Amino acid sequence: MRVDILTLFPGMFEGFLNQSILKRAQTKGIVELHIHDLRNYSQDKHKNVDDYAFGGGAGMVMMAEPIVLCIEELCAERSYDEIIFMSPDGELLNQAMANQLSLKNNLIMICGRYKGIDQRVRDHWVSMEISIGEYVLTGGELAAAVVSDAIIRLIPGVLSDESSALSDSFQGELLDAPVYTRPENFRGHIVPEVLLSGDHKKIDEWRYEQSLKKSERHKQAEE
Ligand code: ADE
Quick: pLDDT tens for 114-171: 889 999 999 999 999 999 999 999 999 999 999 999 999 999 999 987 657 777 877 7
Q: Which of 6, 142, 146 to mutate to test the pocket of ligand 1 (most atoms within 8 A of CB)?
A: 142
Tens digit of pLDDT for each residue in 204-219?
Answer: 999 999 999 999 998 8
From the CA of 138, give the closest atom in ligand 1: 2
Please tell me the residue having the least CA distance from ligand 1 atom 1: 140
Find the mean pLDDT for residues 50-59: 95
148 lines ligand 1 (CB under 6 A): no
Q: How far is the CA of 193 from the centre of ligand 1 (A)?
A: 43
| Class for the domain spanning 2-152 | alpha beta
Using CA atoms, how far apart are residues 61 and 116, in angstroms rounded to an integer? 5
Tens digit of pLDDT for each residue in 96-112?
Answer: 999 999 999 999 999 99
92 lines ligand 1 (CB under 6 A): no
Q: How far is the CA of 141 from the centre of ligand 1 (A)?
A: 8
Domain coordinates in residue numbering, the chain: 2-152, 173-222
Strand bridging mode 50-52 / 32-37: unpaired
Of the options 3.40.50.1110, 1.20.1250.20, 1.10.1270.20, 3.30.70.60, the CATH number for the domain spanning 173-222: 1.10.1270.20
Q: How far is the CA of 112 from the centre of ligand 1 (A)?
A: 8
Exposed, middle or buried: residue 11 (CB in 10 Å: 0-12, 13-18, 19+)? exposed
pTM: 0.93
HEC sequence for 107-124: EEEEECCCCCECHHHHHH
Q: Fold match between 2-152 and 173-222?
A: no
From the CA of 140, give the closest atom in ligand 1: 1
